[in-house]
Amino acid sequence: MDRLLDPSFVLGHMNYWLFVVLMMTGLYIVVARGNLLKKIVGLNIFQAAVFMLYISAGKVRGGTAPILTDNPGEAYSNPLPHVLILTAIVVGIATTALGLALTTRINEVYGTIEEDEILEIDHQETEREVAAILATSAQDSANA
Amino acid sequence: MKYHLILRVVTRLLVGPILLYGLYVQFHGDFGPGGGFQAGVIFAVAFILYGIVFGLRDLRNRFPDRVIHQLFALGVLIYAGTGFVSVFLGANFLDYNVLAEKGYEGQHLGIIAVELGVGIAVFAVMLAIYYAFAARPPRIDDKDW
Amino acid sequence: MELAITLFLFCAIVATAIAITTIRSLFAVVMLSGVISLLSALLFVLMDAVDVAFTEAAVGAGISTVLMLGTIALTSRTQKDIKRNNLIPLAVIILTGLVLIDGTLDMPSFGAPDSPAQTHVGAAYIARTADEIHIPNIVTAVLASYRGYDTLGEVTVVFTAGLGVVLLLGGMGARSRKRRQEEEG
């Protein structure tokens, strides 16, 4: 615990802690909010936190962007996390669009995008089906 | 959007430069920041802007759905095709060294082809997604926003 | 100074995210998520990831905002006020957060040049690109050549997701719309 009192340690790890807070905020929105669109925004925040973790792992103090310059002694930041995250962002928007499309279809069928109301409608539907099945089987046994 | 004169004039002015910038990002990706992913998105943004201001029907007449759907298959095909060209020339999948006499020239060719494939695929997918959302009849009227 | 700006931007992003949890107008939520994208693009520039910042600004603040606004137009504009028990999720995220923070204590400090991430394959890409590929942008070289197979997979994912949206929303267009109109009378 001594390390937590050392300012250089705290400053060097502050970014990780902020990214944990951001990630947990996203997770909280996904878990605690019932609106489907808001859940998708929450997932995006969660995703942004992961992106930041990767990019901050690639940063080199005193380094520059990984585009080669004429100066041979130049220090560059690590290009590998940049590549991974660059493609992840575009894949992220494509999957977000898929989620939004699902939300739109759910809204057309159920008339709402609130999770609790959708579960309620599903519940009523099941009860109605069970009642119908029970009624027909009672009729069958009466006929027999 | 029939009455928004300023929006229509500004859009007409902007669409050209945005497309040009998209091309610059696509083909300058080797030297500065940029590449197929960004260029595809920027290219799609120009079309989406046009669609928002002048209406989806107008855009769809000029750029029918069928063309878009063929384009996003074409993008992936260009990418994978480049890989197979190097296989047929006797190297590994996506090994561009054999595409030209000198290794690095082959690399340049391969990178340009692959980035082009990425750009076309991303552009077409983004535009197809926009079409899919915009074609649905909205539940909220323009004046309710 | 650079570290101070980085931390400031990071705090601004966290504050925006916390605001999103409480706001009920979905329009405001979407706009704030665009704000998060722009702020994180700035942050990426500060952390030397210019290509990533470029993509984030174009995708996160551009296309994703348009798509979410489109979804709002098709669904509803406000989140309904439904009473839910927030204590359990809160406990879960606090617990998870503490575990994650405990994990970060062993991480190398921010920007350390000798951390494991900098010493293996990343350094090799930086050293080899100039001789083998002859293009200045190392990110493009890694993306399209050294890890081309990886990127092919990513493009396929984008392709599949696009296909999924088109199938879900019937983007085949005029045909399905005509059919729906005929069904309705």
* Residue B143 resides in a domain: no
* Residue B28 resides in a domain: yes
Residue A40 sits in the same domain as residue A66: yes
Nearest chain A CA: its distance from C33 CA (Å):
7
Question: How many domains are there within chain B?
Answer: 1
C14 has pLDDT over 60: yes
- Exposed/middle/buried for A139, CB within 10 Å: 0-12, 13-18, 19+? exposed
| Interface with chain B: mutation pick from C65, C152, C157, C181, highest number of B CBs within 10 Å | C152
User: What's the pLDDT at B145?
Assistant: 58
B40 has pLDDT over 60: yes
The answer to whether the CB atoms of A37 and C56 lie below 8 A apart is no
User: What's the pLDDT at A85?
Assistant: 93
Confidence label for C169 from pLDDT (cuts 50, 70 and 90): confident
Helix (H, G, I), strand (E, B) or coil at A63: coil
Question: What's the whole-number mean pLDDT along residues B79-104?
Answer: 89
Question: What's the whole-number mean pLDDT along residues A63-80?
Answer: 87
Q: Is A93 on the interface with C (CB under 8 A)?
A: yes
The answer to whether the CB atoms of B132 and A101 lie below 8 A apart is yes
Question: What's the whole-number mean pLDDT along residues A16-31?
Answer: 92
The answer to whether the CB atoms of A90 and B41 lie below 8 A apart is yes
pLDDT in tens, C76-132: 888 887 777 788 999 999 999 999 999 988 888 888 888 888 888 888 888 888 888
Q: Is B41 on the interface with A (CB under 8 A)?
A: yes
Residue A14 sits in the same domain as residue A35: yes
User: What's the pLDDT at C179?
Assistant: 58
* Residue B145 resides in a domain: no
User: What's the pLDDT at C175?
Assistant: 53
Higher local confidence (pLDDT), C172 or A122: A122
* Residue B142 resides in a domain: no
pLDDT mean across residues, chain C: 86
Question: How many domains are there within chain A?
Answer: 2
How distant is the alpha carbon of residue A57 from its chain centre?
Answer: 20
pLDDT in tens, C124-162: 888 888 888 888 899 999 998 899 999 999 999 999 999
The answer to whether the CB atoms of B128 and C137 lie below 8 A apart is no
Q: Which domain, by its residues, includes A122?
A: 116-144
Spell out which residues of chain C touch residue A104, defining contact as CB-CB under 8 Å. 71, 74-75, 168-169
User: What's the pLDDT at A120?
Assistant: 92
Neighbours of chain B (3+ CB pairs under 8 A): A, C
* Residue B92 resides in a domain: yes
Amino acid identity, position A102: L
Q: Evaluate whether C78 touches C24 at the Cβ level (below 8 Å).
A: yes
Nearest Cα residue in chain C from A116 = C82
Q: Evaluate whether B100 touches B106 at the Cβ level (below 8 Å).
A: yes
Nearest in space to C36 (alpha carbons), one of B21, A3, B66, A51 = A51
Confidence label for B127 from pLDDT (cuts 50, 70 and 90): very high
Confidence label for B4 from pLDDT (cuts 50, 70 and 90): confident
CB atoms near residue A74 (< 10 Å) = 14
* Residue B108 resides in a domain: yes
Spell out which residues of chain C touch residue B145, defining contact as CB-CB under 8 Å. 27
pLDDT in tens, B50-66: 998 888 888 898 889 88
User: Angle formed by the axes of helices C26-46 and C2-22, to 10°?
Assistant: 160
Task: Give the number of A-C residue pairs with CB atoms closer than 8 Å.
Answer: 285
User: What's the pLDDT at A21?
Assistant: 93
Q: Two tokens at A21?
A: 């807070």
The answer to whether the CB atoms of C132 and B104 lie below 8 A apart is yes
Residue A125 sits in the same domain as residue A109: no
Nearest chain C CA: its distance from B100 CA (Å):
13
Confidence label for C181 from pLDDT (cuts 50, 70 and 90): low
| Predicted ipTM of the assembly | 0.89
Q: Is A5 on the interface with B (CB under 8 A)?
A: no
Spell out which residues of chain A touch residue B35, defining contact as CB-CB under 8 Å. 86
User: What's the pLDDT at B47?
Assistant: 93
Confidence label for B103 from pLDDT (cuts 50, 70 and 90): confident
Residue A109 sits in the same domain as residue A122: no
